[in-house]
Amino acid sequence: MKIKTKLRLGFSLLFIIILILGALSAYYLNKLSAEAKLVLKDNYETLEYTRLMLYELDKSDFGSSLNNFERQLIKQESNLTEPGEQVLTAKVRHHLEQLKATKDTLNIAKHQQQIRASLNKIMDLNLKAIIFKNELANKTAHSANLFLIFWGGICLLITFSFIVNFPGYIANPIKLLTEGIKEIEAKNYNKRLSFTSKDEFGELAQAFNSMAQKLHDFENSNLAKILFEKKRIEAIINSMNDGVIGLDEHQHILFVNPVALKLFGLNENDLVGKFAPDVALKNDLLKNLLNNHVNHELKIYADAKESYFKKEALNILVPQSNLYPEKNINYAFTNIGSVYILKNITAFHELDEAKTNFIATISHELKTPISSIKMSTQLLKNKQMGDLNPEQNDLIESIQDDTHRLLKITSELLNMAQLESGHIQLNILPASPIEILDYAIQATKTQAEQKQIKFEINYSDTVSKVLADKEKTAWVITNLIANAIRYSHEQSVINVKMLETTKEVKIIIKDQGQGIAPQYLDKIFERYFRVPGTQKEGTGLGLAISKDFIEAQGGNISVDSEFGVGSVFTLTLIKSFS
């Protein structure tokens, strides 16, 4: 039976009970009302008529009140309700007529006496009737009370049973279902519901049990696999040569591999399960890991030597829901934690240091013989050593060009080695940017004249001094102008101008060369990088060294280029206010 049908039957029963009680109450109330009406109307009126007739009869002058007496008698004659009352009323009427017809005083008194006796009997008869009807009404009321109490008690019991049991019939299955859902939420997939009823609750229990069974099967089928994958991931993390530490979304430490424990100098019990910021108060390495602003390499004493590590921070995001399923886009992600990796780059540092030492050594060792070769070629060209034929003179010039190029390369390599090792010394003092720029232009004037390139120079004679290493800054500007000449077309123009702002002095060098392709602009200041296809001499170190020199002085160097049109290099220096 459906719950809807049961509800209808239950409320129908209550309706029938209310209807029965209402009908019984109406029946007995009507009955009591009718009996009370007889008592209050018929018998009471007869007593009232009789009393008034006795009152008129007892008057000394009965003849004057005879009309009043007869009026009451007429009313009485129309209100005959009790057995024998009609005979007595007829006797009153008979004696009244006799009394009217006689003139004898004795007969008048006799008839009055008989009338009085009949009236008394009528009053007595109605009084007895009132007492009888009152007792009858009392019996009826008593019976009605007993009957209503009986049926009211039965209806009360039925209603009370309905009130007590019926809500439980509805609420208990819902309560059991709620408890079952909470058990499933707690991953207790063995929970089952047992409803014997064949209504909607029974169907709901079957569906719940089927769901719980499927969840149980799914949990058991995947649990072993999940545990195996967990162990495999732990084994992979523990076997890594890099330090790994994992945190949940509330920054509680979830796991730490042995390498990280060794770097932290702590035990696993000191970290796992702890609040990371609290541990970081006593551990500088963990403090640097959690600090998002620390992105530089970390130097840590490990493996009995100073080691270098690079920090990598990964936020673990999992998809939460698809906000627009119909478009299959815009997934919402939830951050469930983060993983910090300390990558050991000590080997790369050692290789880089070895490379730097090698380059510094080779550059230093090559510089002396190359300088000797250059000196020797200059001596050979001296006429005091003898005249050279044209072929010999061409060979000497070729040797000088190659020697000059070799000296430039070794100087760049030596500068780079000094920058990387930190051995280079900058002499930063107030200097005139005009003098530095003029020096660079004069140094590249011959190179420009060979390609018939002209300079357009634009700057004020009152430019403020800047804080710079005069020699290194002149080398940078010379290198920039030389590059502009090298990559410019013949008979073109190079624009050089100087701008002064509130705190800076900018030197802008614009050429009309082939320009730089957009994909190479971000790499132009990287070491050893050369734009593919240029077929020009050089090591690819000039711009990298220039950038390091300028930034070491607090300045900046940038490039803007349009391929096929030309390039613009902007060098920014800090003004001196002393």
Sequence spans of domains, the chain: 3-175, 240-344, 350-420, 425-574
Distance, in Å, from the CA atom of 288 to the CA atom of 347, rounded to the nearest integer, reads: 22
- Residue 329 pLDDT more than 60? no
How many other C-beta atoms lie within 10 A of the C-beta of residue 40?
12
Please name the residues in contact with 237: beta carbons below 8 A apart, sequence gap of 6 or more. Answer: 244, 255, 257
Report whether 320 contacts 334 (CB < 8 A). Answer: yes
Strands 454-458 and 556-562: unpaired
47 closest CA partner among 135, 136, 121: 121
**What's CA 227's distance to the chain center, in Å?**
30
| CATH label, 350-420, candidates 1.10.287, 1.20.81, 3.30.300, 1.10.3470 | 1.10.287
- Residue 462 pLDDT more than 60? yes
Rg for the chain, CA atoms, rounded: 62
7 closest CA partner among 200, 186, 137, 233: 200
* pLDDT of the residue at 259: 83
Tokens of 482: 């030389």
Distance, in Å, from the CA atom of 473 to the CA atom of 333, rounded to the nearest integer, reads: 50
Report whether 31 contacts 140 (CB < 8 A). Answer: yes
Output 96-101 pairs: Cβ under 8 A, ≥24 positions apart: 96/69, 96/70, 100/66
Helix, coil or strand: residue 441:
helix
For 257-289, write each residue's pLDDT tens digit.
888 888 888 888 888 888 988 888 888 788 877
| CATH classification code of 240-344 | 3.30.450
Compare 147 and 547 and report the one with higher pLDDT. 547
* Angle, helix 105-185 to helix 200-239, in steps of 10 degrees: 30
Going by CATH, does the domain composed of 425-574 fall within 3.30.565.10?
Answer: yes
* pLDDT of the residue at 435: 92
Give the pTM: 0.42
CA angle 203–180–318, rounded 5-degree value = 110
pLDDT (average), residues 53-70? 76
